[in-house]
A and B are shown apart, each in its own frame.
Chain A
Amino acid sequence: MANKKLIIVFAVIIGVVIVGGLFIFFSQPEKELKLVPLQEKPKETVARVKGTEVGTGWSAKENPQEAIKEAIGMALAGKVNKAPDFAIIFASSGSDMETILSKAKEIFGNKTKIYGGSSDSRAVMTDKGFVRVAERGYEQALMEGRRGLVIMTITSKDIFFGVGSADFSLYPSVQEASKSAILNAIKNAGKSANELPKATLVTITIGNEEDALEGIEQAVGKNILLLGGTAGGPQCAVLGENSAHKKGISLAVIYTDLPIGWTFEGGFDVTDPHSGIATKVDGQNIVEIDNRPALDVYDEWLGGKIGRLFEEGKQPDLIRDLLTLHPIYRKYTSSDGKNYFLFSHPWPKDETMKDRSVSTSTKIKEGEKIYLSHGTWETFINRIGNLPRNAKVEGGIDVNKKPLFGIGYICAGVLGTIPDTEREKFPILINYANNSAPFIATFTWGEQGYFPGVGIKHGNLLTSFLVIADKD
């Protein structure tokens, strides 16, 4: 009996020692490194170089009047001129563009020329930061109802701006409307139609891009530096001089002797061997490639990826984002032999996949050869980060020079592929490459740009950036 007691006591002591030791060891608090970011944000990016004053602002307020007021207040903070010569406004899709415009005009007065339109529902951006709006893009964004708005104000004695717009419904054709818009813009800049602008900024509502560009070409020819983007959706709109247009074009022409740099690029890998002829098209939809259903062919090129995504029950917007990494492109060669690649973002026209057409948001003509390309989100974010640098290089501006300002158009499809956590890096990267010069950027549903020697083109999954620098 005594033995048993002794053994039990012995076992209990060992048990208590082990359990107690483990408990003490495991109950030790785990200290962790907690870093709190310091408020050492970039210094005021207000550019006031000689005769040019640039400001940027943003707001995420739901109320459009309050939002534009807040953004304008931010942009004009510390500025001499409270009524800038020119203002660019981009507001996330679904924003009350009409109210925004009227309120802006109210604040600025009639002197300020306003250009802009809607951005993708997910974001707008300036040098002050990435304004995150809706979590999901496309139609899914309609459910969220969040709003974001950015503005850039420019007052300059060296740069002359002219704005023009057109409501397509008021013209016999998109081409006519666009032609009218650019001519009005040139006129608005105080220039004659013969004086081609140094640069043209354009925002067009979706589905009419090629026609609009055609009209512009008819007015000013093919060799015009034009950068722009399709107004972001799903509820797109452009700002006119007096009202917003749900189907229309907004234009700004820039006249200046200051150095201008720009870039319009895709950056995808164009070495994939898959290609075919668009044998049947319907507007912005490719119906057949090589006389076969376009979706079948495209899915084959992707090794059945679309079918798998559909079977996995992926949401259409997510499928569309994923297909962003596999765009099709057309190849253009300039007279001097330089190749340009115009990318299109394909996705199944029918969410149920019954219709085997492929939508692209671009008008591909029958008989055009299309190729398959590939990209990664890393390609995109680097491309975004390098936009100012590439623009400066293209414009012969020293890459280390801080420009007066920058204006960017970034494909919303590209945005969708970049992980959410990485998106806030955009403005920081751009600021570094842009030497912290003020900039504004919109996320578009199509991009328009100029291929020297080829003309102005509309594509997808492209990015463009314009910088204007001071002389020396």
Chain B
Amino acid sequence: MKLFWKIFSTVFSSFIIGIFAISYFISIRQISDIEKHTLEDYKVICKLISKGLEIGYAKSEWPFESLKILSERKDLNFWWVVRDDGVIHLANDTSFMGTSAYSYFPQITNIKGEERVILNRNQNYGIFIRAFEAGKNKWLFWLGFSLRNILEMKRKIILVDTIVSIFALLLLGVWLYFMIKFFTKPIKELAIGTQAIGKGDLSYRVKVESQDELGQLAVSFNKMVEDLRKITVSHDELAKEITERKKAEEKLQQQNEFLNIILESLTYPFYVIDANDYSIKIANSAARINSAGPISTCYAISHKRDKPCSDEYLCPLEEVKKTKKAVIIEHIHYTKEGNLRNYEIHGYPIFDSEGNVIEMIEYCLDITERKKLEEELKKKMKNLERFNRVAVGRELKMMELKKRIKELEARAENKNITNPQEQGGDTGNS
């Protein structure tokens, strides 16, 4: 049920109960007053007529005109002038004259005192009886009146009160309808506002038409909406940023994955080494497979040392940091199995925004076989020299040998093709 109808039905029900309760009490009061006044009227009539009869008896002139007026009154059932012997002397209906009054009302006996009233609500009648002096005797004036008049008045009162109550209720209902509508309008607007906001319309604003609590609530609501709008805008921007970041991260991830794939595709160790503490930040599988120990620092895994190379080998990182250029240095590293193998270490600097080397990319080419070949070549060269010196035709052989050397060199060059710019660079030893 809507708030409007909740308030309306509650208040209107209260009004119905209240108005009908008030109407009931007013009706009771009015009816009581009317009955009282009516009886008082009859009493006065009875008294006046009795006086008139008393005077009339003395003057032998009955107040017929007054009595006729009584006869014509619809609210009066009868009037009787009853002699002391109970016989009706005068009556509105002459048929009753000369008959005994008490035979019509056997319950009325022993009338003492000046006045008596008998009410019979079942048959809707009442009788006022008043004694008056008739010479030496006491005669009675009986005034029979109908309570129908009171009953009709009662009905009229109840009808009028009911109609007035219904009319009042209708008016109150209409008034209540508009008042509640008026008072709940801001709340309704707030509800509409919340619905609109719920649907995302943060531009919605509630009209502020009063300075009361509801007005303040509307102001607060509008402020809240405005704040929400602002927060939502930031949130959107954040979301956008997050989205972008996610996209960037995804891209980065893709790049990382791509890089990892590339790195993992490399069959030789590949590292990214922190320039400050020599710690290895990235290492590919080849590096981890060939690592002599857990991946920690370059010097630990390659040289099983607890400090960077300085004396025995030229540290590529130091060189890169120093030269801020790529370096190729040969080192002998330990393998996982603890064997020593020759590696050609390629170091490439990574700079921060200020041009400082913060990291270094390093990959290590196992040149042990090359070294061996070089050693063999050296030995063969020595043997050739010795052959030249010793055997005929050494010249030809030498030529072949040279040719052979050139082929080897070509092969070596082919192996170094991945970093051709280095081929003409530093030639440090490792």
Closest chain-B Cβ to A12's Cβ sits at a distance in Å of 14
Bound-state Cα–Cα, A46 to B400, Å: 199
Asked whether A18 and B166 contact (CB < 8 A) given A25-B158, A425-B97, the answer is yes
Residues of A within 8 A of B1 (CB): 2-3, 6
Contact A3 B5 (CB under 8 A): yes
> Count the A-B residue pairs with Cβ separation under 8 angstroms: how many?
94
Contact B65 A378 (CB under 8 A): yes
Residues of B within 8 A of A26 (CB): 155, 159
- Which residue of B64, B124, B125, B158 is within 8 Å of A422 (Cβ)? B64
The stretch among B87-95, B238-246, B265-273 that forms the contact with chain A is: B87-95
Residues of B within 8 A of A271 (CB): none
Does any Cβ of A come within 8 Å of B144's Cβ?
yes
The stretch among B99-107, B193-201, B405-413 that forms the contact with chain A is: B99-107
Contact B61 A378 (CB under 8 A): yes
The stretch among A35-43, A68-76, A445-453 that forms the contact with chain B is: A35-43
Does any Cβ of A come within 8 Å of B204's Cβ?
no
Does any Cβ of A come within 8 Å of B77's Cβ?
yes
Contact A33 B125 (CB under 8 A): yes
Query: A377-391: which residues lie under 8 A (CB-CB) from chain B?
Result: 377-379, 381-382, 385-386, 389
Bound-state Cα–Cα, A424 to B122, Å: 32
Residues of B within 8 A of A32 (CB): 123-125, 146, 148
Does any Cβ of B come within 8 Å of A376's Cβ?
yes
Does any Cβ of A come within 8 Å of B260's Cβ?
no
Contact B162 A18 (CB under 8 A): yes
Closest chain-B Cβ to A121's Cβ sits at a distance in Å of 21
Does any Cβ of A come within 8 Å of B2's Cβ?
yes
Residues of B within 8 A of A3 (CB): 1-2, 5
Query: A1-30: which residues lie under 8 A (CB-CB) from chain B?
Result: 2-3, 6-7, 10, 14, 18, 22, 25-26, 30
Asked whether A378 and B159 contact (CB < 8 A) given A33-B146, A40-B100, the answer is no
Does any Cβ of A come within 8 Å of B393's Cβ?
no
Query: B50-77: which residues lie under 8 A (CB-CB) from chain A?
Result: 56, 60-65, 68, 71, 77
- Which residue of B77, B90, B159 is within 8 Å of A33 (Cβ)? B77
Bound-state Cα–Cα, A378 to B90, Å: 14
Does any Cβ of B come within 8 Å of A301's Cβ?
no
Contact A35 B151 (CB under 8 A): no
Contact B148 A38 (CB under 8 A): no
- Which residue of A35, A381, A432 is within 8 Å of B89 (Cβ)? A432
Does any Cβ of A come within 8 Å of B338's Cβ?
no
Closest chain-A Cβ to B88's Cβ sits at a distance in Å of 9
Instruction: Give the interface size bracket for A toward B.
Output: 35 or more
Residues of B within 8 A of A386 (CB): 60-61
Residues of B within 8 A of A382 (CB): 56, 60-62, 64
Asked whether A37 and B155 contact (CB < 8 A) given A30-B148, A378-B64, A419-B68, the answer is no
Does any Cβ of B come within 8 Å of A335's Cβ?
no
Asked whether A42 and B124 contact (CB < 8 A) given A382-B61, A385-B62, the answer is no
Query: A341-383: which residues lie under 8 A (CB-CB) from chain B?
Result: 376-379, 381-382
Closest chain-B Cβ to A45's Cβ sits at a distance in Å of 12
**Please, which residue of chain A has its CB at the minimum distance from the CB of B145?**
A33
Bound-state Cα–Cα, A377 to B68, Å: 11
The contact sample of 18 A-B pairs, CB cut-off 8 A, is: A14-B16, A25-B158, A32-B124, A32-B146, A33-B124, A38-B103, A41-B99, A377-B65, A378-B64, A378-B65, A382-B62, A382-B64, A419-B68, A421-B71, A422-B68, A425-B64, A428-B90, A428-B97
Contacts A22-B158, A30-B151 known; 17 new A-B pairs at CB < 8 A? A6-B9, A18-B166, A25-B158, A26-B155, A30-B124, A32-B123, A32-B124, A33-B123, A41-B99, A378-B61, A379-B61, A382-B61, A382-B64, A385-B60, A425-B97, A428-B90, A428-B94
Residues in chain B within 8 A of chain A (CB atoms):
1-2, 5, 9, 16, 56, 60-65, 68, 71, 77-78, 89-90, 93-100, 103-104, 120, 122-125, 144, 146, 148, 151, 155, 158-159, 162, 166
Nearest first, the 8 A-B pairs at minimum CB distance are A37-B95, A33-B125, A40-B99, A424-B94, A382-B61, A378-B65, A428-B97, A378-B64
